[in-house]
A and B are shown apart, each in its own frame.
Chain A
Amino acid sequence: MSDETAASAPSTMNGRFKKPVKVVIDGREITAEAGHPLLQVALDNGIEIPHYCYHPKLSIDGSCRMCQVKIEKAPKLAIACNTPVTDGMVVDTTCDEVAFARKGVMELLLINHPLDCPICDQAGECYLQDYSFGYGSQESRTSSPRRKGLKRHPIGERVIFDQERCILCRRCVRFTKEISKTDELRVFGIGDKSRIGTTSERPLNNDYSINTADICPVGALLSRDFHHKRRVWFLQEHESVCPSCSNGCNVKLGIYNNEIQRMVPRRNDEVNDTWMCDHGRLNYHFAQDETRVRTPLIRDDAHAAPASGNGAGADVKYATTLDAALEAAAEKLRGAVSVHGGGAIGVLGSPHLTNEDLFRLVQLVNALGTPNFDMIVPVGPADDFLIKPEKAANAAGARALGVKPGDGGKDAQAILEGAKSGELRVLLIVGSADAARVLGETGIKDAVAKLDALIVVDANRSPLTDAATIVLPGLVWAEKDGSFTNHAGRVQRVRQAMEPHADLQPEGALFARLAALFARGSAPAAYDAAATLREIAAGVPAFASIGFDTLGSAGLALQEPGAAGAAEAAAPAQA
């Protein structure tokens, strides 16, 4: 049964080839596609019809009755969500009869509601609050005791359930049937005793479980990560993209005090509809936890304990300025190139950086004259929905921009081997966690002992930043402007949502400055992501026509090689 209900889902997919019809809503003539739900047509045209159970990405339930409207010639009010538009339909959403019906629905919903908005995470973005204010009555006509129910019930590892707030719209049930296809939730009981629940053996633990908290129109299902963390009206919301795999789910970052409080999905029908996975949603703490590298560091050999041999004792590092660290790095690179040639340098790029950062990195590598250039793309489990095997946001962008070995150059594995064997003199690693994992503890020791310099650029600590000769702090994605290219070649905008610490700079700026210092050239123009993307568009054919001005909030597909001018504009994302 659940397989078929998904097919009845409304929205754009199944109406595409139907013929247009004319309907009149509140006196406005509107052209719509036959068969579309009246409710969606109204919403798409900026006419608000209050609703709880309807969700554009779920099948129609028709259970809340909040969306009732008056349709000319119909014997009684009809629910707009389950009424397909037909030619000549005349609809009134503002008459007294409709207002009275809405008031009645609100009264029934609130009879047992605990009214605990002051301690409810949903307050401020709650349909019940909004509609109560807009369509309800200010007074209660009953004084009988309110029904008691489960409070703060751990319905899953990452989701909390408050039964008293639930209005039984069944969005969550339909989500687990139709979207996650895991079927953990049902309505148990009847009448007054109806409640959402799971079986004891199968709590709500699927990989997408927190989406139920997003679509719950009230504060009945809540994300545990965000529970009692911050009132939503204090959050500044910024559009961004999830950095945790190559799907590139569109998100909104909620920022308070320059820290990410939560990440929620943002609708993009070309990428993630209105969903995101739990792992991606919760993987933001690295942007602000104690693993952040915030100070440039230089290992000062003069202060190192001499007796400890392979460099392990020489781990005394001194905080320095960014200028001094960049200068030191340039000197090491210059030294190695002048004595041994460009082939003595190995560079590992990072699929976590933006297109703009990586373009500057490619330019730096060209300036260094080394073919030993590659990256390590972390991989992990995937599914046939959103979760992709490449656990980085921009592996496709890195490939498109040429992060790969030059002629006769070493690949990532060979670069790390070359560092351990002493074949390479200087190793520049950008984004070090994956390289550290591949090298292992002894590999890192060997490499440090053999190399003249290990230069690491990273936003977060790793065994490699701990061992490096020079550490240049990087930024996390939420601190910079730029773009990522997802697994399907869709370029999507990320926006600066947090202020970087002190005078830290995006990696693109570091690479540009390093290239200039290496060549003893004049300082480059101040780094600007928008300008860099314009340079990319001019220089890399796949990126032609891609720029901050054209990406919008939904992104654009990379041009297929050869298919000039075929970049397909995306359907605009909707809230």
Chain B
Amino acid sequence: MGVLSEELKQRIADEFPKYPEKRAVLLTALHFIQAEHDGWIPPGASKEVAELLEIHQIDVEEVISFYSLFHDEPVGKFHIQVCANLSCCLAGARPLIRAFEEKLDIRSGEVTEDGVFSIAEVECLGSCGTAPMLQVNNEPFLENLKPDDVPGILDKLRSRLGEGKR
């Protein structure tokens, strides 16, 4: 019995005709899997995707590890990705991250006990002109931030907790 449902596998296979080779579907497939599995890629999934795409399992794991938007461990419902690359650091990413850590009482890389928030430091998201910046899940960027903005950001996110499925 596999990790991926038959229906999910079919959806991945349906993407094949759009590309010259099966391996090109990898990123799409990983997005599909994360969407189905609470925002992360469960153990065993990489093996099954590799079989489906006829590539090595290690190729799948390499790609998952490369992109900060794929997770091989559970993340919070709101995954706060703070850019920690050069421009953002120069413009104050560190104090920003520290503010999140203090407010949420977790370290970057961790998930709050209730599973609502997680913090990650990510590489440049291409918004250096508005540094420091962050992205929650796949949502639009929050830009030109200061540590003082942190309580407001968290309150706004909490207020959305009722919506949608957990």
Contacts and interface: CB of A to CB of B under 8 A. Distances in A.
Interface of A: 183-184, 186-191, 198-199, 201-202
B123 interface: yes
A163 B57 CA distance: 22
A186 B68 contact: no
A190 B68 contact: yes
A187 B59 CA distance: 10
A488 to B, nearest CB: 33
Interface centre among A184, A189, A198, A199, by most chain B C-beta atoms within 10 angstroms, is: A199
Contact of B58 (A189, A190, A191, A202): A202
5 contacts: A186-B58, A190-B65, A190-B68, A201-B57, A202-B58
B58 A184 contact: yes
A163 to B, nearest CB: 14
Nearest to B84: A192
Contacts of B123: 190-191
Interface string B53-72: 00011110110011110000
Given A184-B58, A190-B66, A191-B123, 15 more contacts: A186-B58, A186-B59, A186-B61, A188-B62, A188-B65, A189-B66, A190-B65, A190-B67, A190-B123, A191-B85, A198-B58, A199-B57, A199-B58, A201-B57, A202-B58
Contacts of B85: 191
A206 to B, nearest CB: 13
A202 B46 CA distance: 14
A255 B17 CA distance: 60
Nearest to A183: B56
Contacts of A198: 58
Contacts of A199: 57-58, 61
Interface string B25-63: 000000000000000000000000000000011110110
Contact of A187 (B62, B67, B68): B62
A191 B125 CA distance: 13
B58 A183 contact: yes
A168 to B, nearest CB: 13
Interface in B79-99: 85
A191 B66 CA distance: 9
Contacts of B57: 199, 201
Nearest to A195: B65
Contacts of B62: 186-188
B139 to A, nearest CB: 21
A202 B67 CA distance: 22
Nearest to B60: A199
A189 B65 contact: yes
Interface string B143-166: 000000000000000000000000
B73 to A, nearest CB: 14
Contacts of A189: 65-66
A189 B123 CA distance: 11
B34 to A, nearest CB: 17
Interface in B122-145: 123
A421 to B, nearest CB: 57
Nearest to B57: A199
B125 to A, nearest CB: 12
